[in-house]
């Protein structure tokens, strides 16, 4: 990599901060649904589109040779070998309803936007409504900047599944949800409780910050977890799919090294 991780992290933090200010401002002004995507409840707001355009344009100024892969579809291939993976608003339904659990998620990876082969370099997740900016670079640890103060993040050391607080998420199609609900029947009786907060990137950051002991979801896309999975890993989490696979659409599981195999066993059941 010709560019240093520090430089990439500075750019990711700057752009995520600016984009967070934009979406928070649009939220205060009122949110408009622009269209629906996979199903009638999978919405995209005008702010999602505006934010992705903004992030894409800023990155094109700052890193013109890199590729771009965004949730709202403005993909481009670069020449540097680096790709920016962007979810302009993760937690769009929360954003629509004014629930302050949404984030701008920006990651940089070496290689294609495929979790099975990419090498993660940097990840930033900005929740402007909570004044929380999470960030990590490969090998550099994971941090939370809030109220002007920065703290390093570490996953919980919980070893007992029965005392684990575990989050999950659901897709937008009824068929997928029926399968996810079935899987949940194996997990719920075995853990302290379940959370469904509505933004995959923030669920991963919550594992990093010790606010959750684990998180799993099927059906997530690279932009949902590209940044959050690096932040969780850098805080000490194991992140992956089932049977030793990389995280991906079939499964994304994050927790400490003790609970990962326990939760995995229940997900395979």
The footprint of ligand IPD on residues 231-250 (CB under 6 A) is: none
Q: Which residue is nearest to ligand IPD (CB)?
A: 169
Q: Which of residues 154-173 bind ligand IPD (CB under 6 A)?
A: 169-171
**Binders of ligand IPD among 35-64, rule CB under 6 A?**
none
Task: Please pick, from the candidates 66, 87, 132, 213, the single residue that binds ligand IPD as defined by CB under 6 A.
Answer: 87
61: helix, strand or coil: helix
User: DSSP 3-state assignment of 263?
Assistant: helix
Site string for ligand IPD, 209-228 (x = CB under 6 A): --------x-xx---x----
192: tokens are: 């302290």
Select from 87, 140, 83, 75 the least CA-distant residue to 114: 83
For residue 199, the minimal CB distance to ligand IPD (Å) is 5
For ligand IPD, which is the closer residue by CB, 71 or 132?
A: 71
Applying CB under 6 A, the site for ligand IPD has a residue count of 15
CA distance 223 to 88: 9
Q: Which is nearer to ligand IPD, 170 or 258 (CB)?
A: 170
Site string for ligand IPD, 127-156 (x = CB under 6 A): ------------------------------
Residue 114: φ, ψ to 5°: -130, 115
Report the residue from 20, 67, 70, 91 that binds ligand IPD according to the rule CB under 6 A: 91
Query: Do residues 85 and 226 touch, judged by C-beta distance below 8 A?
Result: yes
Residue with tokens 């469904």: 196
Return the range that interacts with ligand IPD (CB under 6 A); candidates 72-80, 135-143, 158-166, 197-205: 197-205
Total length of the chain: 269
67 in contact with ligand IPD (CB under 6 A): no
CA gap 194, 255 in Å, rounded: 14
Q: Which ranges constitute the DSSP H helices of 98-248?
A: 174-187, 200-208, 222-234
Q: Are 102 and 91 a contacting pair, CB within 8 Å?
A: yes
Q: Say which residue the tokens 């003790």 belong to.
A: 258
Q: Report in angstroms how near the CB of residue 40 gets to ligand IPD at its nearest.
A: 14
**What residues make contact with ligand IPD under the rule CB under 6 A?**
71, 87, 90-92, 169-171, 198-200, 217, 219-220, 224
């Amino acid at each position: 990599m010709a560019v240093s991780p520090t430089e990439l992290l500075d750019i990711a933090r700057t752009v995520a901060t600016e984009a967070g200010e934009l979406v928070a401002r649009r939220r205060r002004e009122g949110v408009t649904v622009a269209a629906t995507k996979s199903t009638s409840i999978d919405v995209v707001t005008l702010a999602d589109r505006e934010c992705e355009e903004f992030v894409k344009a800023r990155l094109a100024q700052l890193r013109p040779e890199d590729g771009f892969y965004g949730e709202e579809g403005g993909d481009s291939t670069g020449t540097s070998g680096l790709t920016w993976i962007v979810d302009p608003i993760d937690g769009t339904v929360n954003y629509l309803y004014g629930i302050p659990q949404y984030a701008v998620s920006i990651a940089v990876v070496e290689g294609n936007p495929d979790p099975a082969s990419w090498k993660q370099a940097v990840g930033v997740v900005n929740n402007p409504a909570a004044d929380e900016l999470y960030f990590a670079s490969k090998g550099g640890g994971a941090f939370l900047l809030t109220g002007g103060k920065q703290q390093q993040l570490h996953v919980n050391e919980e070893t007992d599944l029965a005392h684990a607080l575990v989050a999950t998420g659901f897709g937008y199609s009824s068929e997928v949800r029926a399968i996810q609900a079935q899987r949940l029947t194996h997990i719920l009786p075995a853990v302290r409780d379940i959370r469904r907060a509505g933004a995959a990137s923030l669920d991963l950051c919550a594992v990093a910050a010790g606010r959750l002991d684990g998180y799993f979801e099927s059906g997530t896309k690279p932009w949902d977890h590209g940044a959050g999975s690096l932040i969780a890993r850098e805080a000490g989490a194991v992140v992956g799919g089932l049977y030793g696979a990389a995280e991906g659409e079939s499964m994304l599981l994050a927790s400490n090294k003790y609970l990962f195999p326990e939760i995995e066993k229940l997900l395979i059941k």
